[in-house]
Each structure stands twice: as C-alpha cells, then as structure tokens.
Structure 1
Amino acid sequence: MNIKEISKLANTSPSSVSRVINSSGYVKDEVKKRILKVLEETGYRPNAFAKALHSKKSHTIGVILPKINATSSGENVSGIDQFFNAKGYSLLLGNTDHQVKKELAFLDVFKEKQVDGIIFIATLLTTEHHEKFRKLGIPVVIIGQESPEDIPCVLFDEYHATKEMAQHLLSKGKQRIAFIGVDEWDISVGVLRYQGYCDALKEQNMTPDPALFAKGDFTHQSGFAACRQIIENNALRPDAIFAASDKMAIGAMSYLFSIGLRVPEDISICGVGGGTLAEFYNPKLTTLAYDYKQSGVVASELLFQLLESPSADTLIAHKTYIPYELVIGKST
C-alpha cells in the first residue's frame, strides 16, 4: 500500500492522507476519520525513513548507558521510555560496558541514525566526549555526571547525601567508620561520595583512616572482597561500614555473616541507591534512596524542551538536582 492507494480508499486527496500521517496540517474531522479508518483496516504503516525525510525528524531518541543490567541504568531508561513513549518517540539503546571507545562510537552511530536527541547516562566524561558533543549538532542531556556548561545535566547531590549518611552513623556513636568506594575516574561516586564521608568525619575532628578504605566496582562480589580486605587489615575492626552502593553494602554484609559477625549488633552497614534490593534484604538496609526513574523523566523533559525550541538552551539550568532521601533500616 502507498499513500495514493490509501487516498482512493478514503475518497480524499494524497495530501490530506499525508497531513494526517505526519500530523502536519489541518484536515476536516470527517475526512480524518475516513483516513484513520482506512489506515486501521489496511494496517498501513508509513516508511519511517521517508517520514523522517518529510518532517526532518526521526522521532527517535538515542540513549547511551554504561551497564544495561545495572539497577540505576534500568530505572533511568524506564523513566526515559515512559516520557518519550507518550510523545510518540522510540528509543535506541547503546550499552557500553563502561568502555569509552564504545561510548564515542555510539555517538557517531546515533548521528548516522539521525536521532533527534541523545541522553547520555555517564560515569566518565573525557575531553574526547566534550569534543564529540560540540561536533554532533544534536541536543544532548547528561545523567549522572557534571557536564560542560553548555550541556544540561541531571544529578543527585552526592556530596551532601553521603555527608548526611556519615553524620547519621556518627550520631549513633560510631567511631571507626570504614568506607567502600570505587575508582576516582567516576567523579560522582568515586570522588564526591567519598568526599562527603571524609568531611563529615573531619567536622568531628576525626581523621579518615586509609586502612579503613577499600575499593569495589558496584557488584556484590566486590563488596564482599572489599569488606574482607578491611576486616583482615585491621586488628581493631570497624564499628560501621559505609558502602558507596547498595550492592556493595549487601556483599559486605554477606562477608560479615560468613565469619560469624552480626549486623548491626557487631557492625553497622549502610549503602546508596534505595531500590527494592535494600528494602527486602534482611536486615533491611539503611540507604540513601535515589529515584533513578525520576532522573530519567527529568532528563527527558529537558531534552524535549531542546527539541521543541532550540533556543531553550539559554533558559535551561546547567545542573538539575533530583531529591534524595535518607532511609533508616535495620542495618544501622
């Protein structure tokens, strides 16, 4: 079927059919109803590429994510899909497994696919990323990392959130608080979350002890290994462990249980994330609850503003913060 055949069946002109398909102009209600009825009966679908050429829009959004099976990424994409599906857009996903080369390659692929906009769920932003963004000619919104000033980004206040959590542990009388972090190339998690913890201790005239610090990679297994490292390297064990993610916190708890220690009676544990994992684990995990789905929705709203009005970039704030909540569970 083509537009001419559709127009004959609907007893109207090809131009009217085109306007209905592309939502690009006025068509009388009675004519529009006839056209829509024929479209439904025939199952006609316009060629997406031809439609894009006509409207100069593909109605497709590219999403670059670091780990497709990560809880935060999944929730981000859920929020993005919820928003753009209601607007008639489709998503193209690019899973990078934290590889910068794949991130840069997907930026090129999305440009070739003529996506209307890109949402980049970032863990690292390099000068190469910045150079690509400048050359793309496509609106971009960043989630999770602070971006160049000309690109909007959606963030959680990592520093004040982790500082508040550390202050909660200190208010419980904890004196030896260990920290399981991640590599510093991840500025939001590896630097800002750790800095919030350190400054909370310093405000109480306590010096962060390097022996009470270990690195993981967000997984349960790395939390288990990091907790073992901390316990084995300290004759005087910590009275609390603050992990930079819920998965690492639960991995740390698993190690403590494996050597016969109790949570929170022997050691308190807390994490960051606040998903169902924290809520239904036993004991229920004290955590910083982040609404990753909402951050996806907010990033989508910002990108849609840029798509609707290219001049909107002067009105959109550089940084938009999503609220977090300190959720006190049984683990502290």
Structure 2
Amino acid sequence: MNNILDIANLAGVSKSTVSRYLNGGSVSDKTRQKIDKIVKETGFKPNQFAQSLKAKRTNMIGVIVPRLNSYASNETLLGIETTLRSQNYQTLIANTDLSIDLELNAIKTFHTSKVDGIILLATTLTEEHIEHIESLDKPFLLIGQQDAHIHSIIQNDYAAGIKIGKYFKNLKYQNIAYLGVPETDIAVGQKRKQGVIKGFGQTIPLYETTFKLQDATEAAKQLVEKYDALICATDNIALGVLKAAQQQKVRVPEQLSITGFGGYETTSIVTPMITTIKFPYFETGELAAKSILDLIDEKEVPLLQEMSFELNEKESVDKKAVQA
C-alpha cells in the first residue's frame, strides 16, 4: 500500500479527495473519518517530495476535445477557455478527431507536461481510458461521460430522452423510429435512446448512423418515406434527415416530423426550424473550468454534476397528429 490511488479505491472516493485530505483541504467529516481509518489500517505515508512538486503551478490546463467541427464541443470549449482566461489560466487544446488512440496519447502527453489539470470531452470511456486517468498525479475532469471514481459533468441524456419520448406519445404518434449512434457512446448512444423508449412507453424501430451529417443523410434515405416521425440522437443527425427528406420531396412536417438533441444554432437557420432538446454547452464549459480550478485548489467538488435542459419547440413536428 504505497500510493494515493490505493487509498482512494479502498475509500470509494477520487484521488483528488484523498489529496485534499492529506494536504488539510476541504473534505466532509464522513469522508475524513473513512480515510482516517484506512490510512491507520494500512500505515500509509504520503510522499513528501511528490507533494512539494504538486504545489508548483504553471497556470495551464490541458483540454482534450473529440473534434473541432462540432457545435457542442466548440461551445463547451468556449465556456472553458473564457472562464480559465478570466482566472489567468491558459488553455492548451488537443484535438483527437474521434480517435481513441489519439485521445489516450493526449492524456499521456498532458500527464508528462506541466499542466495543472486535464479536462476530457469524452465520447467513449474505455478501460484503457480509466487506467490512464487513474495513473495521473494531477486533477482530471470528464465531460460527457461518467465513472464512479472520476469527477464528471454530464448532460441529463436519459431524462432528455424521456422528455422527447413523452412529447411524441402525447401527440399520439404511432409510426415512429429512432436514429441514433453506436452504443460505445454511453451518453448519446445508450442513455438518450433508452430515455426515448421509456418516455414513449413502447419499443420503436431503432437505427444507427454516425455523428456526421453526410452519414446521417445517407442512412435517412431509406427511412424518410417509411415513417411519420424520426427522433434523432443529435441535431446534426436531424439536419441530415431533413436534407434526405428534401432530396426525396418528403414534406416536413406534413409528411415527416423530425426532432434532435443539442440545441445547435443551425436548427434555427434551416427551413423548417427543427424542434430540439437544448443542452447548456457553454455553461457546461464554465462549470468544468470552475470545477478543475477547485480541484487544483483541493476544494470539495461533487464526483458527478448533471446539467439541465429544455425542449425548444419549433416547426419540424406536425402537431395535427393529435387526433381521435
């Protein structure tokens, strides 16, 4: 028993919580008592040299983003950078183009560099990710995915899915399908879909595509004339469906209703404007920046923080479906 991670795993808390405990930072009485007991039982002694190194700061935060051509990523990144800049911190950005290998390499690179903390906008969370994160000696924060022992900020995807499912149920739609993304993405690929099914109250046909508009357009070509409504896992997919419908002369919303998730600005530019769940991406970035700075200062931060959402009703859903 010779490192902080061992103590954290035994106590069921994060490494940063154990670090705060060791440095006299803010920790709840219940947590302090739990760690006290484990430290005494294991005879754990912190490495004083490592602690002294950790006290040195560079005022730089590493941020890993899955892609730069994404409204959600850009808005979140803007919230992070704006907040960090206001606190005299510099944001270092690594773009991974949705590559898990590049993501893992970015974590390693930031780990060995002089950043004070790391934020990962995650689309997938593998065992390798967790192993890399748990080996870090600096604060780490996840956005978009969650793990029981890693500080995380997520959108309330399941509840948002329920909201959309109930929306169509109340409009009495029957011939409806869901166009989502692979389940390797827990938040978007699983939770949103599960929420929609729960809210709608019955199983509906499920289809998959990617996050790319072009792929969504291609996938939708076989669906736009088959269903009365398509619930899309993202606004980008919804835009792809709208494009496919227009190419095949399918009228929206008279013949096909479409909804998405995200609240992208582009959903208000196209015709018809798309009904969507709006997530607060900029505010998510602000919260992430404040949270990583609190972790650096060894302050108490909830392991899981969940954002709110709202349903933006626009023009892409035919409400005349409410008929006896």
Same fold (TM over 0.5): yes
> C-alpha displacement at 1:112, in angstroms?
2.2
Q: Which runs of 5+ in 2 are unaligned?
A: 1-52, 318-324
> Which of these two proteins has the greater Rg computed from alpha carbons?
1
**Distance in 1 between the 2:183 and 2:222 partners?**
19
Displaced runs of 4 or more, over 3 A = none
Q: Deviations over 1:103-156 (max 9, x none)?
A: 111111112221000000001111111111111101001000012x23211111
Instruction: After TM superposition, give the deviation of residue 162 of structure 1 in Å.
Output: 1.2
TM norm structure 1: 0.77
1:193 aligns with 2:192: yes
Counterpart of 1:301? 290
Partner residue in 2 for 1:316: 301
**1:50 maps to which residue?**
none
Mapped to 2, the partners of 1:255 and 1:230 lie a distance apart of 9
Render the CA deviation track for 1:76-129: whole Å, top value 9, x for unaligned.
110010110011111111111111111111111112221000000001111111
CA contact under 8 A between 2:165 and 2:198: conserved in structure 1? no
Q: Is the 8 A contact 1:214 1:229 kept in 2?
A: no
Secondary structure, aligned partner of 1:123: coil
Aligned length: 265
Q: 1:154 to 1:54 in 2, by over 3 A?
A: closer
Instruction: Tell me if structure 1 keeps the 8 A contact 2:178–2:204.
Output: no
Corresponding residue of 2:8: none
2:229 counterpart of 1:240? yes
- Whether the 8 Å CA contact 2:150–2:303 is kept in 1: the answer is yes
Aligned equivalent of 2:209: 216
Output aligned runs, 1:1-332, within 5 Å. 56-147=56-147, 149-201=148-200, 203=201, 206-209=202-205, 213-231=206-224, 237-309=226-298, 312=299, 315-332=300-317
SS in 2 for 1:141: strand
In the aligned structure 1, how far is the partner of 2:162 from the partner of 2:72? 21
Q: Distance in 2 between matches of 1:135 and 1:298?
A: 24
1:37 paired residue number: none
Shift of 1:56: 1.5
The structural deviation recorded for 1:55 is: 7.5
The CA distance in 2 between the partners of 1:269 and 1:121, in whole Å, is 27
Distance 1:103 1:131 in 2: 13
Q: Deviations over 1:263-283 (max 9, x none)?
A: 111111000110211122211
| Distance in 2 separating the partners of 1:317 and 1:99 | 29
Q: Is the 8 A contact 1:214 1:227 kept in 2?
A: no
The normalised TM-score by structure 2 is 0.79
Output the amino acid matched with 1:247. N
Provide the C-alpha distance between the structure 2 equivalents of 1:260 and 1:96, rounded to a whole number of angstroms.
37
SS at match of 1:229: coil
Contact 2:229/2:258, CA 8 A, preserved across alignment: yes
Return the letter of the residue paired with 1:150. Answer: H
Deviation at 1:196, TM superposition (A): 0.9
Supply the distance in 2 between the matched residues of 1:110 and 1:60 (Cα, whole angstroms). Answer: 10
- Identity rate of aligned residues, in percent? 32
Checking the alignment, whether the CA contact within 8 Å between 2:224 and 2:244 is kept in structure 1 is no
CA RMSD of aligned residues (A): 1.6
Shift of 1:215: 1.3
Whole-angstrom distance in 2 between the partners of 1:171 and 1:55: 56
Q: Is the 8 A contact 1:163 1:199 kept in 2?
A: yes
Query: What is the distance in 2 between the residues matched to 1:73 and 1:252?
Result: 22
Secondary structure at 1:93 match in 2: strand
Unaligned 5+ residue runs, structure 1? 1-52
What are the superposed Cα offsets for residues 305-330 of structure 1, whole Å, 9 maximum, x if unpaired?
11112xx3xx3222111110100010
Shift of 1:176: 1.3
Superposed displacement of residue 164, structure 1: 0.6
- How far is the alpha carbon of 1:229 from its aligned partner? 2.6
Residue 207 of structure 1: how far off its partner (Å): 2.9
**CA distance in 1 between partners of 2:140 and 2:111 (Å):** 12
SS for the counterpart of 2:221 is helix
